[in-house]
Structure 1
Amino acid sequence: MPVNEHVMVFAPTPRLTVTVDQPSEAPELHLHPGGQGVWQARMIISLGVDVVLCTALGGEVGQVLEPLLVSEGVDLKTVVRDSGGNGGYVHDRREGARREVVDVPGEALGRHELDELYNLALGEGLRAPVSVLSGPHQPHLVPAELYRRFTADLRANGGKVVVDLAGEHLAAVLDSGVFFLKVSHEELIADGRAAGDDEDQLARAMYDLHAGGAENVVVSRAAEPALALVDGEVFEVEMPRLQAADPRGAGDSMTAGVAAVVARGGDIRTAVRTGAAAGALNVTRHGLGTGRLDSIRGLVERVRLVPAGSRQQERTTPDELADRAAER
């Protein structure tokens, strides 16, 4: 594996996903590894970049997950759990929309398991130009302090850290500083970092995140164009509208696209455009973190970074501009 072209993905709490589907007369059962880090790793591989996936597996679910993870094409590095097992969910998609049947969060990692996983992932992260630190399914499963130390150690040794986190885990990595942060506008509001969802308020929150330790920031906004803070300027990420087959997973694919491009030495603007294309393509498919490389490349050419506020200015009529000038 080329030293300068792979990504370390830290996925402490992978999950088993079971989906019941019925695309024809007979129902189908699909078993896959899941969780934020797994979905990110899957998209990075789709973009042609190798992945070292560092994780902890335990219990019956962990035994099922291990061969499934290997089949994803990652270089799997594992810590065997003694204190508990991994979680997962069962979804019924036979009527089109997903209906949750059961969701098992799994058990928190013990102190010994955390130490072993930290050492394992740190060693692999020091060999990679880019490390993606994925969050746990639920905050209590992995302490935020581990993310703070991990980020600090990677950055101190020249690594670029990419994250999609919220809450106390986001606060922890900001203390150490990250190269790239992706966060949703709902998460910013829930964390008290933004007062509302209008562009000005979100832009202020992005500048605060930048001042707090995030070098580059992308804020996803559901159906609205994402906002990107790059090189000290806020942009709208403008791209073609695509019909969604499954709206989940766009944010993880966006984060993965950024990590893949940066690992290959690409610039941050190209990385954000690639991430946006990967996220948009992912929602046209039923598999999370999936997408064809040629299709993503085709979409990248259609993604633009437009200075924030310019679209509103373009929508202003000449009469309105004349009225504003007269008022001045």
Structure 2
Amino acid sequence: MSAHVMVFAPTPRLTVTVDQPADHPELHLHPGGQGVWQARMILSLGVPVTLCTSLGGEIGQVLEPLLISEGVQLRVVVRDSGGSGGYVHDRRAGSRREIVDVTGHPLSRHELDELYNLTLGEGLRAPVSVLSGPSHPDLVPADLYRRFAADLGANGSRVVVDLRGEHLAAVLASGVFFLKISHEELIADGRVGGDDEEELTRAMYDLHATGAETVVVSRAERPALALVDGEVFEVEMPRLEAADPRGAGDSMTAGVAAVVARGGDVRTAIRTGAAAGALNVTRHGLGTGRLDSITGLVERVRLVPAGSRPQERTTPDELAERAAER
């Protein structure tokens, strides 16, 4: 398999942003959505990307040439059942203000079958497959993700995910190589009650026991936590002033996928992902960054053993028992 990454992005979005950096307003049109932002950062790190997606309606017609211009190898299922979604943001005052958000339409059973076959074929040719979430949970069923994780993982592709809710539970049932999730998402999913480090650490061990080989939990302005080879680390790095706080998590996931696709170890991958996420928030474009800047920052990122552990954490024997029950 060549050193490239397959990104499954089932519901890309058209992003329209009104900005005014000088005297006159500007209008920016870009493809967006989690998978697109992840693919963009993987490309920024010098790793080729195959983007598997579905497009429909007028928005889909606009998105296709924009996606091609990103430099990805685009594989598309053209939809008959409905259109793609998007949003319009006004950033003239400095911060983003949402004008409208169009969700798009759920994929039909036929479209899901076509997208599954296309994506599986591309994923089997890639050493790393990134399964990005739909723009709304109702657009793509969670069981599709369970099947992807099972079939890709069983055939040698390392599966990387940044998911939550039913879609996360689905891939855990099959097992994944790497999971990135935020502490806010863990709270929303009811896996933790707050941002207490011991509780987050316990949740990471539980996620590992139920199917995630390596787990990273981002914590907004606090250092991320990483569970690697049974040990928890804090991901320490220099603090940088944010121009746009969105997109750090997607860039982190992309950095991990890019390094692993090229044969790098998971600790270097996490450090690279953290650097990519940190650099991304200093820019206004989501999933963007300069390779030389990211590479320079990696040297300043450290994985430091966490200073506290839960008193009743899951033991290695318990992890093995839970894995055997899956």
TM-score, normalised on structure 1?
0.93
Q: What does 1:288-303 align with in structure 2 at a 5 Å threshold?
A: 288-303=286-301
Give the aligned partner of residue 319 of structure 1.
none
Give the aligned partner of residue 134 of structure 2.
136
Give, in whole Å, the separation in 1 of the partners of 2:96 and 2:191.
31
Q: One-letter code of the match for 1:31?
A: L
Q: One-letter code of the match for 1:111?
A: R
Give the aligned partner of residue 8 of structure 2.
10
Q: CA deviation at 1:196?
A: 1.9
Q: What SS class does the counterpart of residue 233 from structure 2 fall into?
A: strand
Q: One-letter code of the match for 1:308?
A: A
Q: CA deviation at 1:15?
A: 0.1
**Quick check: 1:83 aligned with 2:81?**
yes
Give the aligned partner of residue 323 of structure 2.
none
Give, in whole Å, the separation in 1 of the partners of 2:261 and 2:2.
7
Unaligned runs of 5+ in 2: 309-326
**Cα deviation code 1:137-172 (max 9, x no counterpart):** 110000000000011000110110000000000000
Give the aligned partner of residue 41 of structure 1.
39
Unaligned runs of 5+ in 1: 311-328
Q: CA deviation at 1:4?
A: 2.6
Q: One-letter code of the match for 2:24?
A: A
Give, in whole Å, the separation in 1 of the partners of 2:76 and 2:135.
18
Which of 205, 208, 226 lines up with 1:207 in the alignment? 205
Q: One-letter code of the match for 2:249?
A: G
Q: One-letter code of the match for 1:253?
A: S
Give the aligned partner of residue 277 of structure 1.
275
Identity between Structure 1 and Structure 2 (%): 84
Q: What SS class does the counterpart of residue 5 from structure 2 fall into?
A: strand
Give the aligned partner of residue 180 of structure 2.
182
Q: One-letter code of the match for 2:296?
A: G
Q: CA deviation at 1:193?
A: 1.0
Which of 69, 72, 75 lines up with 1:74 in the alignment? 72
Give, in whole Å, the separation in 2 of the partners of 1:155 and 1:287.
32
Q: CA deviation at 1:195?
A: 2.4
Q: CA deviation at 1:309?
A: 1.1
Q: What SS class does the counterpart of residue 259 from structure 1 fall into?
A: helix
Give, in whole Å, the separation in 2 of the partners of 1:142 and 1:222.
28
**Cα deviation code 1:11-36 (max 9, x no counterpart):** 00000000000000010000000000
Q: CA deviation at 1:220?
A: 0.5
Give the aligned partner of residue 314 of structure 1.
none
Q: What SS class does the counterpart of residue 54 from structure 1 fall into?
A: strand
**Cα deviation code 1:180-199 (max 9, x no counterpart):** 00000011111111122111
Give the aligned partner of residue 62 of structure 1.
60
Give the aligned partner of residue 317 of structure 1.
none
Q: CA RMSD in A?
A: 0.9
Give, in whole Å, the separation in 2 of the partners of 1:31 and 1:196.
37
Give, in whole Å, the separation in 1 of the partners of 2:146 and 2:160.
13
Give, in whole Å, the separation in 2 of the partners of 1:28 and 1:287.
14
Give, in whole Å, the separation in 1 of the partners of 2:214 and 2:12.
27
Give the aligned partner of residue 92 of structure 1.
90
**Cα deviation code 1:45-69 (max 9, x no counterpart):** 0000000000000000000000000
Moved more, 3-12 or 294-303: 3-12
Give, in whole Å, the separation in 1 of the partners of 2:3 and 2:89.
35
**Cα deviation code 1:301-321 (max 9, x no counterpart):** 0000011117xxxxxxxxxxx
Give, in whole Å, the separation in 1 of the partners of 2:20 and 2:190.
42
> Which structure has the larger Rg over C-alpha atoms?
1
Q: What does 1:172-251 align with in structure 2 at a 5 Å threshold?
A: 172-251=170-249
Q: One-letter code of the match for 1:48?
A: G
Aligned length: 309
Give the aligned partner of residue 259 of structure 1.
257
Give, in whole Å, the separation in 1 of the partners of 2:22 and 2:195.
41
Runs of 4+ in 1 over 6 A off after TM superposition: none
Give, in whole Å, the separation in 2 of the partners of 1:194 and 1:99.
30
Q: What SS class does the counterpart of residue 113 from structure 2 fall into?
A: helix
Give, in whole Å, the separation in 1 of the partners of 2:112 and 2:88.
27
Give the aligned partner of residue 103 of structure 2.
105
Give, in whole Å, the separation in 1 of the partners of 2:217 and 2:114.
33
Q: What SS class does the counterpart of residue 39 from structure 2 fall into?
A: helix
Give the aligned partner of residue 285 of structure 2.
287
Give the aligned partner of residue 307 of structure 2.
309
Q: What SS class does the counterpart of residue 143 from structure 2 fall into?
A: helix
TM-score, normalised on structure 2?
0.94
Q: One-letter code of the match for 1:43?
A: M
Give, in whole Å, the separation in 2 of the partners of 1:37 and 1:85.
18
Give, in whole Å, the separation in 1 of the partners of 2:174 and 2:285.
34
